[in-house]
Structure 1
């Protein structure tokens, strides 16, 4: 059987092609996979599960139903928060049938202990981002934000997105990529030989040695211009796929 991994879809109404591509993918794996892991940033932004009660939120009902159909078919769906959708909560999980994972999760992937992350915590050279992340992921900050009206939250999310775009224009590619020492440290701490993450939008399979042992880091791609998937098959191994 096969386990699938996706991340960084950044779904929003302005990019309907990505949404349709996800529908096709979900239909393809319905009842035909061991599991689906979504490693963050499924949405361009998520302002809380009560967003589902708004007209805009109700527009994604078909996506909720498609995810639910996959989980009802016997394929478990696991979701990990990204930096754009960390306000996604238990209501979304209940309606889709998915399980929300912690920031780090080790899974046994056909005999190989594998660490799963969204990936932003590995970008430790970007000190400004890490400081902002510490604020935004603080439970007290989250609780305060969820007291705002939905329009207020949407406006703040859009403002933060513009600030992020402006900031990244002035940062080097190296700063926005993972730090190799941080990669090695989390793999040591988790006692794994494989790491799978997203966030950087740089799909690749990196093989290297850690303390004399062959290890592997797999980076998932984004969905801005194409679909990007990681297929891990029990017999045929690992394949990174893209589809326009």
Structure 2
């Protein structure tokens, strides 16, 4: 009996995960993610990490911090084991660059990318670009995604960058408290554009922290959950594309 072939055929076609928001301050969430990488992620052909892997990323010169190196080593180990890892930066870690790609073994994808897997045509993105009800955030996103802004920001000393990011986060938290709930979700016109632009029948994204399945006639949109195993409202999970070509939503074990 060819056990190797049997094991390969038993693997899922792909897993999708996002918004783990990893940080040293969240040890249980970190442990859950590392367990996911060492177990569930080894049973698939492809892993798509769709942004906000980290709570924030100040630049690739921070790779050698003990914590960041631990996370990248887990991704590299999975890549070395033969799982194809794909990376779409999120609004917290869009400053990941070439060194991140080399050290993690992940292939960078643009933040809206169409892929064909099995019998499914899928669009993947982080999801913040489809949230258009908050003009202040749209303007901020355009600024920080500008290559010239990024080059100037990355020329600053690492510790100064971290302080600046903390300032951004504090300001955003104050502003967000006054905003209505609907600004956090995607807009209908943006979703229509995703399906039109990519020709996909399935759209997978994160960012909104409002996990679920939305149907648009023959098209479907899966929203990935954020992870938090350290707070009182424990949550987390991922999406699986099985060898049969169906999608299954999974929840992290508490």
- Please say if 1:237 is aligned against 2:246: yes
CA contact (8 A) 1:197 1:220 kept: yes
Q: Distance in 2 between matches of 1:166 and 1:34?
A: 42
Instruction: Give the corresponding residue for 2:59.
Output: 48
Q: How big is each residue's C-alpha offset from its partner over 1:100-122, in whole Å with a ceiling of 9 and x where there is no partner?
A: 11111111122211111100011
Structure 1 portions without partners, runs of 5+: none
- Please say if 1:25 is aligned against 2:33: no
Q: Which is further off, 28-37 or 87-96?
A: 28-37
Instruction: Give the corresponding residue for 2:92.
Output: 84
- Please say if 1:58 is aligned against 2:66: yes
Q: How does 1:154-173 map to 2 (within 5 A)?
A: 154-173=162-181
CA contact (8 A) 2:62 2:68 kept: no
Q: Distance in 2 between matches of 1:216 and 1:236?
A: 14
CA contact (8 A) 1:10 1:43 kept: yes
Aligned to 2:102, what secondary structure does the other structure show? Answer: helix
Instruction: Give the corresponding residue for 1:12.
Output: 23
Q: Which is further off, 12-21 or 156-165?
A: 156-165
Instruction: Give the corresponding residue for 1:136.
Output: 144
Equivalent residue pairs, number: 237
By how many angstroms is 1:30 displaced?
5.2
CA contact (8 A) 2:51 2:90 kept: yes
Which has the larger share of strand? 1
Structure 2 portions without partners, runs of 5+: 1-10, 229-233
After TM superposition, the score normalised by the length of structure 2 is: 0.90
After TM superposition, the score normalised by the length of structure 1 is: 0.93
By how many angstroms is 1:226 displaced?
2.4
Q: How big is each residue's C-alpha offset from its partner over 1:82-130, in whole Å with a ceiling of 9 and x where there is no partner?
A: 0000001111111111111111111112221111110001101111110
Q: Distance in 1 between matches of 2:202 and 2:31?
A: 31
Q: How big is each residue's C-alpha offset from its partner over 1:41-99, in whole Å with a ceiling of 9 and x where there is no partner?
A: 0000001000124xxx2333222221111001100110101000000111111111111
Q: Distance in 1 between matches of 2:90 and 2:142?
A: 13
Q: Distance in 1 between matches of 2:42 and 2:187?
A: 38
Q: Distance in 1 between matches of 2:183 and 2:27?
A: 31
Q: How big is each residue's C-alpha offset from its partner over 1:217-243, in whole Å with a ceiling of 9 and x where there is no partner?
A: 000010123221111112262111112
RMSD: 1.2
